[in-house]
Structures are given as structure tokens and as C-alpha cells.
């Protein structure tokens, strides 16, 4: 069949492919004719939510993108690029793999890891650290346990074999994720400035290669799948889930970096969502050229694949390389050395059209620009309304909540709660030490510290989002996510530099969900502006909800923040553990009588509706600047931020690494449960040695910041207002083993 | 007193760069990179098979790598008394090649394990433990899915009687206990040598505990022991 003779698809076909009627019309007007099935398929994936950002881009554009260290702005490259020092830059990005992981947890999570790492090394950066942010449903459900085991093993098996350490992450459980788990994977890589490669194609006559794995039918329409609903029959979408091969990815990494060194590369892009059509169209649109592609030359792993299947396949571990004409041999030699496929499948042309040929016939002809975000892809503005539940959140009255008689019971409840207890069952399955750069392996810190062997500096990396706060108040909650990320970096001795985000929300056509999205963006903008941490990129994942009958229940709005910070002097790394009995313990930042949206309120009292916890952006920044100053002057022995579980858990976490304890007094003006378990933001616990005490007090007094002298570090006993709360060793046993008792 | 180390890179090796960094940048020794397709050891004093997932560890850890072209030369070199050290995947490859006895099975909890563990020095009569004291506990990380050392009774008997067990998993006080055994290895064995005492294998990663920047340098004791070779 050729373009002329093929039977043309109808509106119904377009709708079945996930396109809207007006989008079908738009395609006809772009082409000036009826599209054939292959062409329609190309548009359907490129204009899917996943690739086009059509329902989010309008708001994403309002995020702050300028910063003193930015080398590549959001959307310009596969990942954000930030200057680390005069020689080095860091490429980093976070991405979701939610829907595949909900259906096939092992491969879904594994290919998420593979995809995000390819985004980093396709730019010429060698990945040095990985993080992940995972959300699961009720941990006591058998299905949740199956999903956790699969996701963790998938991330581990892929990342471990790929050989890049997993240095940090978060795991959170809530019923709202029972059906639709969230798997967000982040990677950071290092590249010498000026050695980066762009995802661009230009220069008529230049050869186009496909390298890496052969192409199969896996993952066809994966991008469309990711942009649709999860429903009862979703397991039947299994072919939409791709299969990962970390061994090939490792070879592809080494070969790709070697290839870049040869100088033969014009541009390069990995093949992730939407496969060949995505990389050919995005690279061509960016370079303002066309491309001829001979689909029969693509190495296939199964017979009888049709042109549209080859174009849309999301087979993993593949790259598209546009090389300089005359250097074909050089490219071939590198991939031969690494025993990888390397096949010329096309060439760059003048003009703007992508032409796909198959068995001598023209299968599809489309203008590259018309397919891509920022070009012809549709952009929508959606309406939004405040969710009805916000009334309930505002109506919360803390006075109706009794102070428990036995606060020790709360302490035990929290330290064994899956959201707070040690995640070692998870992270010990990840290789956290390969690469010999993880400075936090032996010295625990709030953010993961990554050594740069060629520099005096180190990176600080963290992923954060308490989605319960975002549900409570999208704008404040998302600002808190940014603030907490910054706080973790500051507490580790770093200066916050930039963020990447992974925006996990429900159905954008649901006005209440869209309200959450819009307000989260507003909160993120405000906080990122305040901390001077521009948004370098990331991704949006909509349609995260479960369906029962006709009712969609969205997950908590979950805008995961991945933040990069820089330690100017790696010797000034700060750790979270108390160092010696007798050290004074201080709480820096304003303490309020507040336990809204705390784990304590939510799971101990089972009160699900309350506002976000206390948060003030200006106070937060001021507090962080004081911590930076204290670390620079070498005046504190430890720093650990107050977050999930409140002050008690923070003190416990600082005590456990060295089996120390604490003896503190609470404030009689504040409810004791608020004081110990409230999650008011903007606070950090520090410990100070006797010799530094005077200089320390001078600085915090001069800064005029709120602080409380809590008490002292002990040999191991825990005392609060002289009441014996037991020994740290008992809590440590409970804290360390809570998760494995459920999962083993 | 420089030594020349040859670090073999198999497809899928991923601890090669870490090993080279320790030898070259921290210990200032010479390093030759040995590509798996080559047939020349370039006159190295010691060949190191680094950790990783050679050939993806498909089929069985180390099972394919033993057929790499360079392994012919490594085999010959070892047979002639040349020094060979395998770490983690390297240890697995040495067992698959029969340069060391026994096998490394799936961890008894069937999960990959990465954490700091302690190993007790069992002998000072080997190059890699020559500077250590018997009973000395070292904190060294492990990172493996197939690290449970296993051998038949006769082999075990010989290993024990001939003083060929280099390290056993232990607690921080140097006590060899079941709870200190991360993978279920028989007799808590973490590292062994061959009868000729020139081929060494261990699951823990000393190269991950050799940089003051990372806060643990216990692994340097092992490398410093090896460097005795250059003095002797």
C-alpha cells in the first residue's frame, strides 16, 4: 500500500487511538489531506499527554527557569544542566514510570530506571547517582506487598547491574495509592563543560544511525497508555509495558561516551516514550531539517512488524545518532567494540518533512515541527475549581483532638509506622556504594552527598514530597516540598542550586484535580524563586487514579521535587547523627502549636482532613541561612531537619546511628503532643559541643531567629520533661525491623 | 616499589573504575587496563578481576565471562604462580573458571544485599592478609545477589586445614556468628585462596573502603598487604 492507495482511517480510529475530534481535524489541516493509519498513529503518540504536555505546558511555562548556574534551561535538552564549578556540569532529571509499574512492577520500575539514565548519558554526562521516590498503597494489602517487592527488585536489578549507585529516595504509603502506585526515578550525571551533546539533527546528507537493542513490539502505544486511565482490564495492556536489559544499557553507556569523544556526533537522543518517531521528530524539529528513514533497515527482534509498529515501538536501550558524513566508519567501530547493533537507517534532508519508507514505499510523510511540543502539538487551557474537600480541611479544629494519656505509645506508633520506620528493607537491595562516590554511606546526612573525585566540591541530592500536605493545601504543600528539599541540602552542608520535578496528578479534565495542579505549580514557583532554585525540567504524569465503577479516585497530588545542591567544600559536609553525650541540643526555627496533617494526626487519631502544617517561606529561608552560616563556621556537630513524625522522630533519628539518647524539656505554652509530634515546618535540630556553645549562641542571637534550648545528648536514655521514655536501643530495634516484619 | 596491576574489563564490569582509582590515585601504583577481548597481560604483577555484572550475569554469575578471550591468559598466568585477585563478580568468575574451588550461590534471603559488614582475618599467611592480624575485624561493604559461598565437604575440609580461608563474616567485635553472616555462606566464608596461595577471591569490596573522603579506609589494609609483594 502506498500513501495514495491506502484506505484512510476514520474519526473513530482517531478516537480509538486516544485523539480528540478537534485533534483529528487539526491533523488533516496540517497535512492538507487525510492521514493514513501510520501517520495518525504518529500523531496519536506525539500528541498524547505524555509526549506533548498539552494540558500542563501552559502552567509549566510560569515556573522560574533562570538561575546563576543554569547551562541548559528546562525543555531545551533531555535533562537540566547546571554548572558545578569551572570545569564540570551536572545533568539531572526525574521521571515517572507509574502506569507500567502498577501493571508489571518489576519491568515497569526497571525500565523507569533505564529511561532516566539514558536521558542523562545521551547528553554526554556519565551518571553518578540515582534516587527514587516511591508511593504505594496500604502496606498490609497483599497486592501492595507484591508491588513493593516487584518495584524494589526491578529498580535494584536494573540500577545495580548498570553500575550507578542509588544514593537516596523516599517511600510513602497511603490508601490513595492502592491501585495506582507512583514510581519516580531520578538520575544525576557529570560532564565536562562544553562536552555536552544536544538532541538535534541538521546537515543534509548526514547519516542517521539506530544503535543498541533491536526493536520489538514491546511498549507500542506506551505513551498513550501512560496518558490514559488505569482500570480493571489494564493488565491486558501488558504489551504496553517494556522489558529492560541493564547489561545492554551499560554497554550503550560506555559506547555512547566513547562515541562522543570521537567528535563524530552531530546530535543524539535516546529512545524512550514513542520510540523512533519521538527522537526523529524532536531532533529534526530542533535542527530545522527533515529526515528520510528506511524502516526496513531497523534491526528487529520479531518478524512481520508493520511500519507504524516500528515507529512507535518503545523497546528499551536504543539511541538515535546523527553523525557527520564521512565518519560512518568511526561510529561503526565504537559499537563493534562493544558488540552492539549500529545501523544506518536514514539521512538528514533539507526541508522539514520526516519521510518514512518501508519496502520501497513511502509509508508516512509528516512535518517534524507539527508533531512536537512547542511546535504543532496542541496546547490546552483547562478549567479548575477548588475541591469540595478543602472545606473539611479548613474546618479542622485541633481542640477536638485529645492529648493522649501515654505519649510513649505515640512514640512507638510513629517509629514503627511504615512511613517513618527505617527503609533498609528497600535500600539494602540497591547498590548504594558502587562508584565510590557516596559520602553518606558511612556518615548519614539529610541529603545524599556525592563526591566529585576531580573537584573540591561535592553534590547534594534529595527527593522530597509529603503528598499529604499537598492534598491538604496544594499551594502550601508544594512550597513545603521545595522547602524541605532545600532544608535537607542545607542540613548536609550544601547550597540549593536547582530542581527537577515529577508532577504526579489525577485526570486533568477533572476540574478539582486541575485545581490541585495549578496551585501546586504556584506554590512551587514561589518557593523556587525564594530559594533561587530554578526548575530545570522533569515530567508530568496525569491520570493517576483508580476507577471503581464510574468513580475516579485521584491519588494525592504528588509533585515530587528532586533537588541538586552544591557543597563548595566537601570537607564541610554536615551529618545528622549526634556525636557525643553531653552535647547541647537546640531546635532552630519557630515552633508553633500545630499538628495539622502530621502522621500523628493522620494515623494515630485517624483524622484525615486538616490544613497543611505551619509554614512560612520567609522564615524558612532565614532559618536555612542561619544553618548555612553555622556549618561554614564549624559550630555545630550535627543537623537534622524536623519532618515526618515531628521533633521526637528527628531526635530519635539523630540518636540511633551512635546509640546515643536525649534528655529534653518541652515548652509549657505548647501542647505536648504538638511539641513532640507536630510537623510545623522550618525547623532543624542541631547539636553543639561545649567549646562552640558561646559562638553558636552569638550567631543565632544575632540572626534574631527563634530557637529553643532543648537539652542534651545522653548515653542512650531518652527523657522528656524528666519522664523516662526508655532506651534508644529499644526504639532502634523497632524502627529498623518494622518494615521487614511486614514484608518478609 | 611500584607494582603493576592489570584490571580486566569485561562487558558489564562496573567496579573497574573504582578499583583503578584506588590503585592509581590513592596508592599511586601502575595500572594496565586489560580488555576482555585481548590476549596480553602486559607484564602485570597482579591481575585483578573487578566486581560488576559481566555479561549481565545472565545464565549464572561469572559463567559466561570465564570464556572471555583474556581468561586463557589469566588461567596460564595463575597456573605459573602469577597473582590473581577477584572481587565479588571477579570471585564468581574465578570459581566458574575453577581457579578457585566452590561456588557462589544466591543469597539465602534471595535478595541483593548492599551494606557494610565486618570480616574477620583468618590467616596472615597470604599476600592479601600479610599486614593484618589474625582475628582483626575489618568493616568492608558487600553488594551482591549471589554471594553465598558453598563447597563440598572435602573441599571445605581442605580449605580449613590448609589455612586457605582468608576472611569470615563476623560482627564488629570479630565474633563469627550466624547473624553476622549476610548471605548464608558456609562456615561464614567471605574470601579464600587457592592451594598455591597466589589466587585470591573475596565477596566484600575493599576498593569501596579505601578513601578517607568516604569515611572508611579499612580496605586499605588489604591493598597495603598486597603491596608487600613489591618489597619482598
Neighbours of A194 (CB within 10 A): 9
What are residue A584's phi and psi, to 5 degrees? -75, 145
3-state secondary structure of A109: helix
Q: Interface of chain B against chain A, CB under 8 Å?
A: 11-12, 14-15, 17-18, 21-22, 25, 51-53, 55-58, 109, 111-116, 141, 143, 145, 205, 207-208, 210-211, 213-216
What is the value of ipTM here, to two decimals?
0.97
In the beta sheet, which residues pair with residue A560?
A: A502
- Number of Cβ atoms within 10 Å of the Cβ of A12: 9
Interface residues of A toward B, Cβ cutoff 8 Å, are 153, 156-157, 160-163, 245-248, 250-251, 338-339, 424, 428-436, 438-439, 441-443, 451, 453, 570, 744
The DSSP code sequence of A99-164 is HHHHHSHHHHHHHHHHHHHHHHHTTTPEEEEEEEEEEES-TTSHHHHHHHHHHHHHHHHHHHHHT-
Which stretches within A316-362 are classed as H helix? 328-337
Sign, Cα dihedral of B29, B35, B36, B39: negative
- Whether B53 sits inside 8 A of A250 (CB atoms) is yes
Q: How far apart are CA A491 and CA A502, in angstroms?
A: 23
pLDDT at residue A6, rounded to an integer:
64
Tell me how far apart the alpha carbons of residues A662 and A651 are, in angstroms, rounded to a whole number: 7
Buried b / exposed e over A57-75, threshold 16 CB at 10 Å, is bebbeebbbebebbbbbbb
CATH number at residue B102: 3.40.50.880
Instruction: Give tens-digit pLDDT for B18-39.
Output: 999 999 999 999 999 999 999 9
Q: What would the pLDDT profile of A362-386 be if each residue is shown by its tens digit? A: 999 999 999 999 899 999 999 999 9
pLDDT of residue B229: 82
Max Cα–Cα distance, chain A, nearest Å: 88
Q: Do β-strands B83-87 and B30-35 pair in parallel, antiparallel, or remain unpaired? A: unpaired
- What is the separation, in whole angstroms, between the first and last Cα of chain B? 9
Residue A103 · residue A234 · CB < 8 Å: yes
Instruction: Output the nine-digit C-alpha cell for A447.
Output: 541529603
**DSSP character for B64?**
T
Nearest alpha carbon to residue A614 among A717, A706, A714: A706
Euclidean distance between the first and the last CA atom of chain A, given in angstroms as a whole number: 57
d(Cα A40, Cα B23) in Å, to the nearest integer?
57
Positions of chain A with pLDDT under 70? 1-6, 73-75, 221-240
**Residue B213 and residue A570: Cβ atoms within 8 Å?**
yes
Query: What pLDDT does A674 receive?
Result: 98
pLDDT at position A272 is 81
**What was the pLDDT predicted at A1?**
45
For A150, the closest chain B residue by CA position comes to B111
Grid cell, residue A251, equals 554497554
Using an 8 Å Cβ cutoff, are A107 and A101 in contact? no
C-alpha dist (Å) from residue A600 to A403, A677, A737: 11, 6, 20
User: What is the tens place of the pLDDT at every residue in A276-307?
Assistant: 999 999 999 999 999 999 999 999 998 889 99
Give CA–CA dist B16/B148, Å, rounded. Answer: 22
3-state SS, residue A44: helix
How many structural domains compose chain B?
1
Where do runs of H (alpha helix) occur along A497-638? 511-531, 599, 617-632
Grid coordinates representing B1 are 616499589
Alpha helix locations (H) across A498-616? Answer: 511-531, 599
What is the arrangement of strands in the sheet containing A166-173, beginning at the earlier edge strand? A70-72, A80-83, A88-96, A182-192, A126-136, A166-173
Check the CA dihedral A327-A328-A329-A335 and report its sign: positive
DSSP symbols for A621-638:
HHHHHHHHHHHHTT--SE
Give CA–CA dist B218/A292, Å, rounded.
Answer: 58
CB neighbours of residue B189 within 10 Å: 26
Closest CA to A46 of A227, A290, A261: A227
> Which residues from chain B sit within 8 angstroms of residue A340, using beta carbons?
none
Strands (E), A389-457: 448-451
Alpha helices in B35-144 (DSSP H): 70-79, 89-96
Q: By residue range, what is the domain housing residue B167?
A: 4-231
| Of the candidates A163, A689, A709, A649, the residue with the CA atom closest to the CA atom of residue A434 | A163
User: Of these residues, A69, A97, A99, A221, which one is catalytic?
Assistant: A97
Question: Do the chains contact at A339 and B11, CB–CB below 8 Å?
Answer: yes
Distances (CA, A) of B35 to A706, B38, B65: 60, 5, 12
Please tell me the distance from the alpha carbon of residue A255 to that of residue A246, in angstroms, as a whole number: 14
Contact flag A436-B25 (C-beta cutoff 8 Å): no
The grid cell for A496 is 540549593
Q: Which residue has the cell 492529648?
A: A403
Query: How far is the C-alpha of A73 from the C-alpha of A67, rounded, in Å?
Result: 9
Chain Cα centroid distance, residue A206:
35
Mean pLDDT by 10 residues, chain B (232 residues): 94 98 97 96 97 94 95 97 98 98 97 98 96 97 98 98 98 97 98 98 98 98 92 72
pLDDT at A227: 63
**Residue A100, helix vs strand vs coil:** helix
CB A469 within 8 A of CB A601: no
> Average pLDDT of chain B?
97
CA A44 – CA A24 distance, rounded (Å): 9
Amino acid at each position: 500500500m502506498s500513501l495514495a492507495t491506502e484506505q484512510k482511517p476514520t474519526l473513530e480510529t482517531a478516537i480509538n487511538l486516544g485523539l480528540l475530534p478537534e485533534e483529528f481535524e487539526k491533523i488533516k489541516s496540517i497535512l492538507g489531506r487525510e492521514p493514513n493509519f501510520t501517520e495518525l498513529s504518529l500523531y496519536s503518540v506525539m500528541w498524547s499527554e505524555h509526549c506533548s504536555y498539552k494540558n500542563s505546558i501552559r502552567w509549566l511555562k510560569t515556573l522560574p527557569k533562570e538561575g546563576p548556574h543554569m547551562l541548559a534551561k528546562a525543555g531545551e535538552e533531555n535533562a537540566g544542566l547546571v554548572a558545578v564549578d569551572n570545569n564540570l556540569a551536572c545533568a539531572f532529571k526525574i521521571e515517572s514510570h507509574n502506569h507500567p509499574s502498577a501493571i508489571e512492577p518489576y519491568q515497569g520500575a526497571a525500565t523507569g530506571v533505564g529511561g532516566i539514565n539514558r536521558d542523562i548519558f545521551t547528553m554526554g554526562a556519565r551518571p553518578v547517582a540515582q534516587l527514587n521516590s516511591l508511593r504505594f498503597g496500604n502496606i498490609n494489602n497483599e497486592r501492595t506487598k507484591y508491588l513493593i517487592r516487584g518495584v524494589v527488585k526491578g529498580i535494584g536489578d536494573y540500577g545495580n547491574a548498570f553500575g550507578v549507585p542509588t544514593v537516596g529516595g523516599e517511600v510513602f504509603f497511603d490508601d490513595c495509592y492502592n491501585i495506582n502506585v507512583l514510581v519516580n526515578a531520578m538520575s544525576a550525571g557529570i560532564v565536562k563543560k562544553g562536552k555536552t551533546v544536544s538532541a538535534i539533527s541538521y546537515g543534509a546528507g548526514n547519516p542517521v544511525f539506530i544503535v543498541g537493542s533491536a526493536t520489538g513490539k514491546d511498549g507500542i502505544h506506551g505513551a498513550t497508555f501512560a496518558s490514559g486511565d488505569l482500570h480493571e482490564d489494564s493488565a491486558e495492556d501488558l504489551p504496553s509495558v517494556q522489558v529492560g536489559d541493564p547489561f545492554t544499557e551499560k554497554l550503550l553507556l560506555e559506547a555512547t561516551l566513547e562515541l562522543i569523544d570521537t567528535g563524530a556526533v552531530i546530535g543524539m537522543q535516546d529512545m524512550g516514550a514513542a520510540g523512533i518517531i519521538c527522537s526523529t521528530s524532536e531532533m529534526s524539529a530542533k535542527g530545522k531539517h527533515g529526515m528520510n528513514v528506511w524502516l526496513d533497515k531497523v534491526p528487529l527482534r520479531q518478524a512481520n512488524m508493520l511500519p507504524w509498529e516500528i515507529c512507535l515501538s518503545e523497546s528499551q536501550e536504543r539511541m538515535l545518532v546523527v553523525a557527520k558524513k564521512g565518519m560512518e566508519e568511526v561510529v561503526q567501530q565504537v559499537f563493534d567494540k562493544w558488540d552492539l547493533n549500529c545501523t544506518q537507517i536514514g539521512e538528514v534532508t533539507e526541508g522539514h518533512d520526516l519521510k518514512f519508507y518501508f519496502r520501497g514505499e513511502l509509508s508516512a510523510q509528516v512535518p517534524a515541527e507539527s508533531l512536537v511540543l512547542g511546535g504543532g502539538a496542541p496546547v490546552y487551557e483547562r478549567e479548575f475549581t477548588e475541591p469540595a474537600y478543602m472545606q473539611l480541611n479548613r474546618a479542622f479544629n485541633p481542640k477536638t483532638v485529645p492529648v493522649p494519656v501515654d505519649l510513649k505509645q505515640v512514640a512507638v506508633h510513629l517509629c514503627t509506622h511504615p512511613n517513618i520506620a527505617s527503609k533498609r528493607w528497600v535500600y539494602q537491595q540497591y547498590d548504594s556504594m558502587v562508584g565510590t562516590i557516596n559520602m553518606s554511606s558511612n556518615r548519614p546526612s539529610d541529603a545524599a552527598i556525592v563526591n566529585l573525585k576531580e573537584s573540591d566540591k561535592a553534590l547534594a541530592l534529595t527527593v522530597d514530597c509529603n503528598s499529604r500536605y499537598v492534598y491538604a493545601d496544594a499551594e502550601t504543600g508544594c512550597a513545603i516540598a521545595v522547602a524541605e528539599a532545600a532544608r535537607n541540602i542545607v542540613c548536609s552542608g550544601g547550597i540549593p542550586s536547582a530542581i527537577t520535578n515529577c508532577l504526579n496528578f489525577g485526570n486533568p479534565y477533572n476540574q478539582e484535580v486541575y485545581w490541585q495542579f495549578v496551585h501546586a505549580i504556584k506554590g512551587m514557583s514561589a518557593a523556587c524563586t525564594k530559594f533561587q532554585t530554578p526548575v530545570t525540567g522533569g515530567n508530568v504524569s496525569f491520570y493517576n487514579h483508580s476507577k471503581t465503577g464510574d468513580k475516579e479516585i485521584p491519588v494525592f497530588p504528588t509533585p515530587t521535587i528532586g533537588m541538586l545542591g552544591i557543597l563548595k567544600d566537601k570537607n564541610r559536609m554536615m551529618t545528622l547523627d549526634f556525636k557525643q553525650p553531653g552535647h547541647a541540643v537546640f531546635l532552630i526555627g519557630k515552633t508553633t502549636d500545630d499538628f495539622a496533617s502530621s502522621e500523628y494526626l493522620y494515623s494515630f487519631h485517624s483524622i484525615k482532613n486538616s490544613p497543611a502544617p505551619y509554614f512560612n517561606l520567609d522564615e524558612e529561608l532565614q532559618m536555612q541561612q542561619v544553618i548555612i552560616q553555622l556549618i561554614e563556621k564549624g559550630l555545630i556537630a550535627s543537623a537534622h531537619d524536623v519532618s515526618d513524625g515531628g521533633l521526637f522522630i528527628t531526635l530519635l533519628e539523630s540518636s540511633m546511628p551512635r546509640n546515643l539518647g536525649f534528655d529534653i524539656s518541652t515548652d509549657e505554652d505548647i501542647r505536648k503532643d504538638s511539641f513532640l509530634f507536630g510537623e510545623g515546618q522550618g525547623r532543624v535540630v542541631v547539636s553543639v559541643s561545649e567549646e562552640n556553645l558561646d559562638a553558636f549562641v552569638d550567631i543565632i542571637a544575632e540572626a534574631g531567629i527563634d530557637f529553643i534550648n532543648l537539652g542534651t545528648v545522653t548515653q542512650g536514655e531518652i527523657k522528656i520533661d524528666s519522664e523516662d521514655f526508655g532506651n534508644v536501643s529499644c526504639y532502634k530495634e523497632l524502627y529498623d525491623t518494622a518494615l521487614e516484619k511486614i514484608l518478609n | 616499589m611500584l607494582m603493576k596491576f592489570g584490571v580486566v574489563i569485561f562487558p558489564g564490569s562496573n567496579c573497574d573504575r573504582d578499583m583503578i582509582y584506588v590503585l592509581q590515585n590513592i596508592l599511586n601504583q601502575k595500572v594496565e587496563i586489560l580488555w576482555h577481548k585481548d590476549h596480553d597481560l602486559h607484564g602485570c604483577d597482579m591481575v585483578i578481576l573487578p566486581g560488576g555484572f559481566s555479561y549481565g550475569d545472565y545464565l549464572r554469575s561469572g559463567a559466561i565471562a570465564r570464556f572471555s578471550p583474556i581468561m586463557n591468559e589469566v588461567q596460564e598466568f595463575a597456573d605459573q604462580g602469577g597473582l590473581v585477585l577477584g572481587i565479588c563478580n571477579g570471585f564468581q568468575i574465578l570459581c566458574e573458571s575453577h581457579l578457585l574451588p566452590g561456588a557462589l550461590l544466591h543469597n539465602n534471603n534471595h535478595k541483593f544485599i548492599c551494606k557494610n559488614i565486618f570480616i574477620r582475618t583468618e590467616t596472615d599467611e597470604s599476600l592479601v592478609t600479610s599486614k593484618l592480624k589474625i582475628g582483626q575485624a575489618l568493616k568492608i561493604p558487600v553488594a551482591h545477589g549471589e554471594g553465598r559461598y558453598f563447597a563440598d565437604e572435602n573441599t571445605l575440609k581442605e580449605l580449613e586445614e590448609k589455612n586457605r580461608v582468608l576472611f569470615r563474616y563476623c560482627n564488629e567485635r570479630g565474633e563469627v556468628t550466624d547473624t553476622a553472616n549476610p548471605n548464608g555462606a558456609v562456615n561464614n566464608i567471605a574470601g579464600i585462596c587457592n592451594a598455591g596461595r597466589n589466587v585470591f577471591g573475596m565477596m566484600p569490596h575493599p576498593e569501596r573502603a579505601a578513601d578517607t573522603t568516604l569515611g572508611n579506609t579499612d580496605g586499605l589494609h588489604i591493598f597495603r598487604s598486597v603491596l608487600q609483594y613489591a618489597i619482598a
